[in-house]
Structure 1
Amino acid sequence: MQPQKRKTGNDRALSGTAAAEAPLSEGESSSLADLVLASRFFKESWYLRSYPEVGTSGFDPLEHFLRRGASGDFDPGPLFSSKKYMEAHPELRETGENPLLHYLRFGIPRDRLADPDAFDSDLSARQRARDAGGMFMRRFGFVSDEAGKAGLVDAVNYLTEIEPVLLVGTESPDVSIVMQAGGRMEELLSLLDSLAWHETRWRCEIVVTDTALLPQERAVLLTRIPWIRTVCGSAVNDDLRGEYIVLLGGTTRVVTRWLDELIGSFSLFPAAGIVGPRILRNDLSLQQAGGIVLSGGAVRRYGFGKAPDHPRFSYARQTDFVSAASLAIRRNLWSRLGGFDTAVPVSHRAADLAFRARKAGFEVWYQPVSQVIACDEETFGEQATGKDEETERADIAAFHDRWRSVLRRHGDPATSAIEKANRYSGKPLVVFDRTTPAPDRDAGSHLAASLIHAYMQLGRRVVFTPPPNYKSRDYYTRDLQRLGVECLHKPHFGSVAEIAEYVKNVDHVLVFRVNVLGPLYDDIRAAWPDARIIYNTVDLHHLREARQAEIAQDEALSRKAAETEEKELSLIRKADCTVVLSETERELLLRSVPEAADSLVVFPYIFEMPERKNPPPLMSARRDIVFLGGYMHMPNIDAAHFLKEKIWPRLRPHLPADARLLLVGADAGPEIYALSGDGVEVTGFVADLEPVFDSARVFVAPLRFGAGIKGKVIHALAHGVPSVVSPIAAEGMGLVDERDLLVAEGEGAFCEAVLRLYGDEVLWEELHGNGLSFVERNYSWENGLDRCRTLLEVADRTAMRRKAAGSSVKVGKSAAMD
């Protein structure tokens, strides 16, 4: 059941005009004002600028908002939209309640976004968690050093009555969440409140140990909460049922996504034995981004007091240890190690546990996408207390003696904290692309993301940055950081020189696209003179432009294609390795740059076969014709028009009445949506393509110009959809007409091929199986890893050959690059 609303002045609805105009009592006005001012949403200067009539109304800006805000016409500040909130909660128009007050009383405590469609950044999530903690403490009078009994009873009653959002189940839980009852009970109850509203896909048991440390009446109070298990002694080594054990300090509050990201990291990093989150202080500065152990045995919190969203603290990586204030460990490893070694000083127990886990063959990972707020500087179960210098030196010396052979490998204490934090990472590989890859939106992003992931798997420290704007990209930046990719972006990094100051000893730089490498080439050579540059063309831009110019009979576009060709050929001559996507493109280039023969590598694609949620439907259950593409790409825009205007009118009379032409893909603007109608549906971006492909009897790709490998064709074949494509769409992939798919050119031939495949079950089944086999045979992950190694080897050989010949590439812009 949901928490019951308290019948207090703060809960009274402000409904209708009469209520909005009615004078507020002094106590009511003060309570509402305190609640709003304690939040971060009301900005008086912004309010006066946005609503100038307030200045002449005779009302204080805050009082005006409290009186008039229920209408939804007034926003308290730039971080909260009253209109959007009321659209999500239309019942507020009936009750007349101020939308911000409703959000503060119900939304934040239940960890809800004010705008459900907004991107939930790590910053907004932790602000919400901190706000919810403060509201919980104020609600029950826990703002003083020692709470009264009445407040504790009220808080326990509240926790007893609610039905947690957290999946709680003591039988066969996935995760055992364990906290100790030492310390202030008020903070322990606040932690339980944050767990109660924490959404996760994992079934949990919540165990509070060492309740004997509490006064008896408080320990009895805890036993009333039905969804936790209390233990008088320590149960950390006994009777825990989850596959994973998660330890939480009693003064923490968990942040949105904390548990899913923490436990999910064990799947991302199969060798991980321990994973820890990003830990924040109550002022939301960084408490710890993993721990560092110096060669002398001293322990340090990496990033303490720094800005938590700085890129160097925002990517997953192996670390010396993680804080016991919040860590997850495999239960079998915990049992094998016997938990914490109580013979080790408290200050070093988490580090000792990590070192023993690593000795047992496991890795220790820091995962910043998982976050907790720790109100105190505490380890699991024991408050951090000051020690005299002699005791601290003795603790450090004892730890050093225990792990002397390991610490010897920790190197010079004078090395930078950044180098120490990355001691388990491989050699840096710096990757440049025009924007953070969005692999579910376009084929170029899929290619870039695949290479990034492959080099991560090969043990490189991958550093990604998106010039020229150097902007992060919400979900997609977070996706890379979750996997361990270091994403450098503004406001922290905005040039190659700034990146080079941060990332040292770079052997290889991977750059995608001519319009990215062209302006940066000299800067890269100057920043890392010995680094080998690998240039991935993505496709030959000049070839695509020339084909488009030929179809459009556009002289200006033809001149642009010639300029692009000059730039591409110049870069190919200077790069240490150039990646092209097909043999067709390689053969074309060799006519113009034969001297690059040894540095040109064909690397078409990497594709992991999709894991199906359901068995694929039979041909007879499918009706639709499907085209997939990103509509910021001119070849796809042209193909969509060609399908709607030339192909579909000839197909439709011969198809079932319920058959549709689906134009699927991201970035569809008004021009594409205008093609809807007469059996044509524009879906826009679709996150899960399986249902779309399952509806498709035939996939079509009538591209009339373009270059490179067509990812859309690979995706269709990998989903088992027989396809009809143009020669441009099939170019350079090794596809065989009539075996893997059908290839047709021109309106008439293309329509005939589609109708033939649509109605021939024998042919359909044959192409269905052969298409799947083609993708598995040519684009497997294993083949991709081998090709990634080849790129590095080719780049190294080219650089060595140039050095031996005394012909190293000089830095200096040519006219072709301007």
Structure 2
Amino acid sequence: MNRKLLIIGFVWPEPNSSAAGSRMMQLISCFQSKNYKITFASACAKTDHAFDLTSLGIDQVHIALNHSSFDAFLQEFQPDVVLFDRFMIEEQFGWRVAKVCPKALRILDTEDLHCLRKGREQAFKDEQTFDNSYLFNDVAKREIASIYRCDLSLIISEAEYELLTQVFKISPSILHYLPFLLDSVSDSTIKQLPNFENRKHFITIGNFLHPPNFQSIQYLKQHIWTLIKKQLPQAELHVYGAYASQKVLQLNNKQKGFLVKGYAENVSEIMQQSKVCLAPLQFGAGLKGKLIDAMQNGTPCVMSSIAAEGMFGNLQANGFIADDIQDFVNSAVALYTNEAIWNDTHKNGFNVINTRFQVSDFQAEFMQLVFDVKSILKTHRQENFIGQMLQHHTLQSTKFMSKWIEEKNKD
């Protein structure tokens, strides 16, 4: 009999809209490699960009927040493993899973550390240097508690793994480093990609609902693009991303070559047409999907240190890392105009993908860990006393608040 996995999604996966969507599809593939019967459940409304999970044989279930119908659903499904998509979902549904299916392995996919992103965003708004006073915010208290309550938390970035173990002092026994899981880029694929001469213009891309991406677009327009355009008057910047609101669309300026294109149906195609990718993120966390897309398609990047965090390890970046505005501009112009520099950094990206993010290097180890922890679950939980304590106390308030909301909604 196949083991059963329940994924509770913050949203329905949209791999063409966000790195989070791609990440979720990679996790699904891991469990399918071990023949898990998978059900994906979410309380979120489904958009036109959502992936059709039924095409992969995955059941899709819409669930209600703060409603005991979810308990009945759990009772019937009886999953062996439950995967929470971000800590907010664990807060909402974790106590119900613990109550109805106490023997189910509870896994949290953090996506990125929300407390790190929020802290950096606040420091940016305050025009202050980010430090632990910004890191130890209210989101951190919630997110770290969620990590402790789960049996295993998946961490996408080495930098964030180090932060959790060294700063928050969380035991590695409940953490697992699992980056993007990618196929290698073959020599034959590389040879087929457009070369320096057959590409033109700059590109930036990112889901506009994600605050770091929108701020990055504003930063590009206000501080960077004018300086690049002055040196490269024929160049254009093509801005792609899902969910372009009116405030995004109004940034479009055809005269200045700042073109808001909106949703990208085929990211690989537009990346291959572009000569240089720009990613001047001023805050954020996790690994950046836009950099992965650029490397897979041979498009060199100019990026901030925050954008590059956790991506390259000891390897050479597929471009330049620059936080100073003039350094960023100079790097962008150099990549755009110097074929030798472009070719070198173009090759670096393939090396990063093939060295650091191979699915074959991580998938089997991860699935073995799931099996191992599940087989010693009682002992594993006993060794995580803080998690037991938080499960007992903290979620009592969440549980009774949820029950109060459910009763209130009956009125």
Settle same-fold status: TM greater than 0.5. yes
Of 16, 20, 35, 1:444 maps to: 20
Deviation at 1:776, TM superposition (A): 2.2
**Paired residue type of 1:746:** D
Question: Contact 1:577 / 1:798 at 8 angstroms: preserved in 2?
Answer: no
AA of the residue aligned to 2:258: V
CA deviations on 1:728-751 (whole Å, 9 max, x unpaired) are: 011012355755321111211111
Partner residue, 2:312: 734
**How far apart are the structure 1 equivalents of 2:171 and 2:109?**
14
Identity %: 24
Residue in structure 1 matched with residue 174 of structure 2 by the alignment = 599
Matches of 2:38 and 2:127, distance apart in 1: 41
Q: Which residue of 1 aligns with 2:95?
A: 522
Is the 2:71–2:100 Cα contact (8 Å) retained in structure 1? yes
Question: Is it true that 1:674 corresponds to 2:256 in the alignment?
Answer: no
Q: Which residue among 549, 570, 575 is the counterpart of 2:145?
A: 570
* 1:749 corresponding residue in structure 2: 327
Query: With structure 2 as the length reference, what TM-score do the two structures score?
Result: 0.86
Deviations 1:505-530 (A, max 9, x none): x2211111111111212111012111
Q: 1:813 to 1:685 in 2, by over 3 A?
A: farther
| 8 Å Cα contact 2:381/2:388 also seen in 1 | no
2:267 to 673, 689, 712: 689
Q: Deviation per CA, 1:432-462, whole angstroms, max 9, x where unpaired?
A: 1111101010011110111012211221111
Cα distance between partner residues in 2 of 1:609 and 1:534? 27
Take 1:577 and 1:549, find their aligned partners in 2: how far apart are those partners?
Answer: 29
Q: Does 1:627 align with 2:177?
A: no
- CA drift of 1:616 comes to 2.2
Question: How do 1:292-691 residues align onto structure 2 when only pairs under 5 Å count?
Answer: 426-467=2-43, 469=44, 471-473=45-47, 476=50, 479-489=52-62, 495-504=69-78, 506-553=79-126, 562-608=137-183, 615-657=192-234, 659-677=235-253, 678-691=256-269
Shift of 1:716: 0.6
Deviation at 1:502, TM superposition (A): 2.4
The reply on whether 1:769 has 2:347 as its aligned counterpart is yes
Q: Which moved more, 1:757-766 or 1:608-617?
A: 608-617
- Tell me the distance in 2 between the aligned counterparts of 1:614 and 1:738: 21
Work out whether residues 581 and 604 of structure 1, in 8 Å CA contact, stay in contact via their aligned partners in 2: yes
CA deviations over 1:19-62 (Å, ceiling 9, x no partner): xxxxxxxxxxxxxxxxxxxxxxxxxxxxxxxxxxxxxxxxxxxx
**Structure-1 residue corresponding to 2:388:** 809
Does the Cα contact within 8 Å between 1:577 and 1:791 map onto a contact in 2?
no
Cα 1:766–1:560 shift into 2, 3 Å: closer
After superposition, where does 1:191-270 map in structure 2 within 5 Å? none
Q: Residue 526 of structure 1 aligns to which amino acid in structure 2? A: K
How far does the alpha carbon of each residue in 1:464-485 deviate from its partner, in whole angstroms, 9 at most, with x for none? 1013x4x4555635x2111111
Assess, with a 3 A threshold, how the Cα gap between structure 1 residues 488 and 494 changes in structure 2: closer, same or farther. farther
The structural deviation recorded for 1:805 is: 5.7
Q: Distance between the aligned counterparts of 1:438 and 1:762, measured in 2? A: 36
What does residue 715 of structure 1 align with? 293
1-structure distance, mates of 2:306, 2:315: 13
Distance in 2 separating the partners of 1:600 and 1:664: 34
| CA–CA separation in structure 2 for the residues paired with 1:427 and 1:696 | 44
The Cα shift of 1:589 comes to: 1.1
Contact 1:472-1:489 at 8 Å conserved across structures: no
Amino acid at match of 1:709: L
SS of residue in 1 equivalent to 2:124: helix
Provide the C-alpha distance between the structure 1 equivalents of 2:68 and 2:319, rounded to a whole number of angstroms.
46
Equivalent-residue separation in structure 1 for 2:214 and 2:323 (angstroms): 18
Equivalent AA in structure 1 for residue 221 of structure 2: K
Structure 1-normalised TM-score?
0.44
Q: Which amino acid is 1:465 matched to?
A: A
Q: Which structure: greater helix fraction? A: 2
Shift in alpha-carbon separation, 1:603–1:613, aligned structure 2, 3 A? closer
Amino acid across the alignment from 2:230: P
User: Residues of 1 paired with 2:47 and 2:372: CA distance?
Assistant: 32
Q: Do the aligned partners of 1:735 and 1:741 also contact (CA within 8 Å) in 2?
A: no
Deviation (angstroms), 1:663: 0.7
Instruction: Please tell me the residue identity of whatever aligns with 1:476.
Output: A
Shift of 1:490: 5.4
Q: Structure 2 unaligned runs (5+)?
A: 402-411
**SS across alignment from 2:351:** helix
2:151·2:380 contact (CA, 8 Å) conserved in 1?
no
Alpha-carbon distance in 2 for matches of 1:727, 1:559: 18
What is the CA–CA distance in structure 1 between the aligned matches of 2:381 and 2:68, rounded to whole Å? 31
1:584 Cα deviation from its structure 2 partner: 1.1
CA separation of 1:516/1:791 partners in 2, compared to 1, >3 Å: closer, same or farther? farther
- The 8 Å contact of residues 436 and 466 in structure 1, kept in 2 or not, is answered as yes
C-alpha distance 549-490 of structure 1, shift in aligned 2 (>3 A): closer
The match for 2:405 is none
Deviation, 1:788, is 3.2
Partners of 1:742 and 1:640 lie apart in 2 by 18
Question: 5+ unaligned residues in a row in structure 1: which ranges?
Answer: 1-422
CA distance in 2, matches of 1:806, 1:476: 36
Cα pair distance change 1:738/1:456, threshold 3 Å: closer
Following superposition, the deviation at residue 427 of structure 1 comes to 0.4
Partner Cα distance (1:745, 1:794) in 2: 43
Displacement, 1:705?
A: 0.4
> 1:703 aligns to what SS in structure 2?
coil
Q: Distance in 2 between matches of 1:428 and 1:764?
A: 47
Across the aligned residues of Structure 1 and Structure 2, the Cα RMSD in angstroms comes to: 2.9
The 1:726–1:472 alpha-carbon spacing in structure 2 relative to 1, beyond 3 Å, is closer
Distance of 1:609 and 1:656 partners within structure 2: 37
Post-superposition Cα deviations, 1:79-134, rounded to whole Å, max 9, x if no partner, equal xxxxxxxxxxxxxxxxxxxxxxxxxxxxxxxxxxxxxxxxxxxxxxxxxxxxxxxx
Q: Which moved more, 1:724-733 or 1:770-779?
A: 770-779
SS of equivalent to 1:809: helix
Q: Which AA in structure 2 matches 1:598? A: S
Separation in 2, partners of 1:806, 1:680: 52
Distance 1:650 1:461 in 2: 54
CA distance in 2, matches of 1:673, 1:564: 31
Secondary structure at the counterpart of residue 530 of structure 1: coil
Using a 3 Å threshold, how does the CA distance of structure 1 residues 687 and 803 change in structure 2: closer, same or farther? closer
The equivalences for 1:2-81 within 5 A come to none
Query: Is the contact made by 1:463 and 1:486 (CA closer than 8 Å) also made in structure 2?
Result: yes
AA aligned to 2:73 is I
The 1:587–1:803 alpha-carbon spacing in structure 2 relative to 1, beyond 3 Å, is closer
* Letter paired with 2:35: G
